[in-house]
């Protein structure tokens, strides 16, 4: 090879070397671009919250419930016999007041009275027929039966039969059918009383379903009658509240607008639990002016106090018996003891003073959630 070509070959080699290095670098850069970049770790999210600091204290137990007032003594009146309803001096109409024992309404009894008188006549004749035999065979008993017959009045209630002096007399009188007739008549006399319907107590007619001249039949409802003096208010009570109240406890009653007030007392508490509501019913008895059947009243019952506890909104509870507490800047779900459920709150008795809980419900909360308290309420 000539010396003149040597520098040329060296120059070409240098150029090829540079091209090779440039190509290798370009290839390396392209491969580096295609390689996925490592993901950066996301920062931990810290939720800012409002907290409430627990401070236990003695808490009065007060129940507030609404209910509809009912008359303590109220009866629906039904006919037990058949007949035409008679006119009466005082119309049986809503609002009409009657004293205890007063006649509310009368049913025409003329046909029944005739039948009853016929039965009494039969008894009279039966006794008259045995008098001759009594005079002969039961001389010592004759005088009392003769006196009984002399005082017998068909228009009046049949008096009790004379007492028997011996078994022989008893068998003889019974064999004549007198005893059977006597008790048949007493049964009819009791039934005759049902033709007059009397007030069982002082009260007022609230509903009248028949008018004079109407034919009434056995089992037909005639109206309703109640006493306007004493009422009771049934209240639905949560089962957890029943241990703080008892019969005889005083109750304050108000109209819904708080314009009127009465004082009543717990008369009784139903011992059974309603499966649907898991509650029971307390009956409040009350007397007073301006009370009326069907009024809506609000009751306030002050029960015995809870010695140590804290009242929290019910909306903070999880599954009705758990609560989020704040420990080491995290939410922890803790089971709590509920002494009493109210309409919008609950009283908890197993949280220590100083424990911090959420002040407001947090739908996204979960156990272990990191939090930062921005304000703590005592």
pLDDT digits (tens, 9 = 90+) for 189-231: 999 999 999 999 999 999 999 999 999 999 999 999 999 999 9
CATH topology for the 63-70+228-305 domain: Elongation Factor Tu (Ef-tu); domain 3 (2.40.30)
CATH topology for the 49-59+307-377 domain: 2.40.420
For the chain, domain boundaries? 49-59+307-377, 63-70+228-305, 74-107+195-226, 110-193
Q: Tell me whether domains 49-59+307-377 and 63-70+228-305 share a fold.
A: no
Contact 311, 345 (CB under 8 A): yes
215-219-222-223 Cα dihedral, nearest 10 degrees: -170
Closest CA to 194 of 117, 113, 123: 113
Query: Which of the residues in the chain have pLDDT under 50?
Result: 1-3, 37-43
Secondary structure string (H, E, C) spanning the chain: CCCCCHHHHHHHHHHHHHHHHHHHHHHHHHHHHHCCCCCCCCCCCCEEEEEEECCCEEEEEEEEEEEECEECCEEEEECCCCEEECCCCCCCCCCCEECCCCEEEEECCHHHHHHHHHHHHHHHHHHHHHHHHHHHHCHHHHHHHHHHHHCCCCCCCCCCCCCCCCHHHHHHHHHCCHHHHHHHHHHHHHHHHHHEEECCCCEEEEEECCCCCCEECCCCEEEEEECCCEEEEEEEEEHHHHHHCCCCCEEEEEECCCCCEEEEEEEEECCCCCCCCCEEEEEEEEECCCCCCCCEEEEEEEEEEEEEEEEEEHHHCECCCEEEEEECCEEEEEECCEEEECCCEEEECCCCCCCEEECCCCCCCCCCCEEEEEEEEC
The pLDDT value recorded for residue 305 is 87
The pLDDT value recorded for residue 162 is 93
The pLDDT value recorded for residue 31 is 59
The pLDDT value recorded for residue 214 is 93
The pLDDT value recorded for residue 39 is 47
The pLDDT value recorded for residue 6 is 54
The pLDDT value recorded for residue 344 is 86
The pLDDT value recorded for residue 62 is 85
| CATH class of the domain defined by 74-107+195-226 | mainly beta
């Amino acid at each position: 090879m000539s010396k003149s070509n040597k520098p040329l070959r060296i120059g070409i080699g240098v150029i090829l070397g540079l091209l090779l290095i440039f190509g290798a670098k370009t290839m390396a850069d392209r491969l580096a671009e295609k390689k996925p970049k490592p993901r950066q770790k996301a920062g931990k999210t810290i939720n800012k919250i409002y907290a409430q600091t627990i401070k236990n204290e003695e808490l009065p137990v007060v129940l507030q419930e609404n209910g509809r007032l009912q008359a303590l003594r109220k009866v629906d009146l039904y006919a037990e016999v058949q007949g035409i309803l008679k006119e009466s001096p005082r119309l049986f109409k809503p609002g009409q007041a009657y004293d205890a024992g007063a006649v509310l309404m009368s049913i025409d009894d003329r046909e029944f009275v005739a039948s009853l008188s016929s039965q009494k006549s039969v008894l009279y004749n039966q006794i008259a027929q045995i008098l001759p035999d009594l005079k002969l065979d039961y001389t010592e008993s004759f005088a009392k039966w003769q006196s009984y017959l002399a005082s017998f009045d068909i228009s009046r209630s049949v008096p009790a039969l004379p007492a028997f002096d011996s078994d022989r007399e008893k068998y003889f009188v019974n064999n004549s059918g007198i005893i059977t007739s006597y008790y048949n008549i007493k049964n009819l006399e009791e039934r005759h009383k049902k033709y007059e319907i009397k007030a069982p107590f002082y009260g007022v007619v609230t509903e009248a379903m028949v008018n004079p001249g109407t034919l009434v039949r056995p089992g037909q409802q005639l109206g309703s009658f109640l006493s306007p003096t004493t009422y009771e208010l049934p209240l639905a009570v949560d089962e957890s509240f029943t241990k703080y109240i008892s019969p005889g406890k005083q109750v304050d009653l108000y109209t819904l607008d708080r314009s009127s007030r009465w004082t009543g007392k717990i008369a009784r508490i139903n011992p059974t639990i309603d499966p649907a509501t898991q509650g029971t019913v307390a009956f409040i008895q009350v007397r007073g002016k301006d009370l009326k059947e069907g009024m809506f009243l609000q009751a306030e019952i002050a029960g015995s106090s809870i010695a140590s506890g804290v009242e929290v909104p019910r909306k903070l509870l999880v599954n009705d018996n758990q609560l989020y507490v704040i420990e080491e800047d995290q939410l922890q779900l803790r089971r709590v003891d509920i002494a009493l459920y109210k309409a919008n709150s609950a009283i908890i008795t197993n949280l220590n003073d100083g424990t911090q809980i959420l002040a407001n419900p947090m739908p996204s909360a979960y156990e272990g959630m990191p939090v930062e308290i921005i304000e703590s309420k005592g």
